[in-house]
Amino acid sequence: MYNDILNKLESDIAFRERKNRMEIIAKMLIEKYHINTEPSRVKAIIEDANSMDRYWRLILMERKDLQGNDYDTKRIVEEKKELELGYEVGYNMDINKLKTL
């Protein structure tokens, strides 16, 4: 997916503009999944999904009682991925601390 987005950014100047992002992503999804609908409909679905995700995160921050059992595992998952990619655990924290010095 990373390479698909990179290639599209390199080949389509319009995709570099924020105002065109969702429409072009919608067209990419239509092509990838062979969806038989208008790009504007897929764009609306993407925008709704993004909003739903933001509300999900907000509500779970506000209402700890609604958090699932895996909610606090983000740091563990991130550390595993950092190790997998060859970084030292806490690499980002070291970089942020260096910026303050």
**Both tokens of residue 49?**
């999904």
In terms of pLDDT, which residue wins out, 45 or 95?
45
Q: What is the mean pLDDT of the segment spanning 3-19?
A: 95
If asked whether residues 50 and 98 sit together in one domain, one would say: no
If asked whether residues 49 and 8 sit together in one domain, one would say: yes
If asked whether residues 59 and 10 sit together in one domain, one would say: yes
Write the pLDDT tens digit of every residue in 61-94.
Answer: 999 999 888 888 878 888 888 888 888 776 666 6
The H-assigned helical ranges of 13-73 are 18-33, 39-62
Distance CA 35, CA 46 (A): 14
Residue 25 CB contacts under 8 Å (≥ 6 apart), including other chains:
43, 46
- List the domain range (segments joined by +) for residue 80: 69-101
In this predicted structure, what is the pLDDT of residue 92? 64
If asked whether residues 2 and 46 sit together in one domain, one would say: yes
Write the pLDDT tens digit of every residue in 14-46.
Answer: 999 999 999 999 999 999 999 999 999 999 999
If asked whether residues 74 and 53 sit together in one domain, one would say: no
Helix and strand numbers, DSSP H then E, in the chain: 5, 0
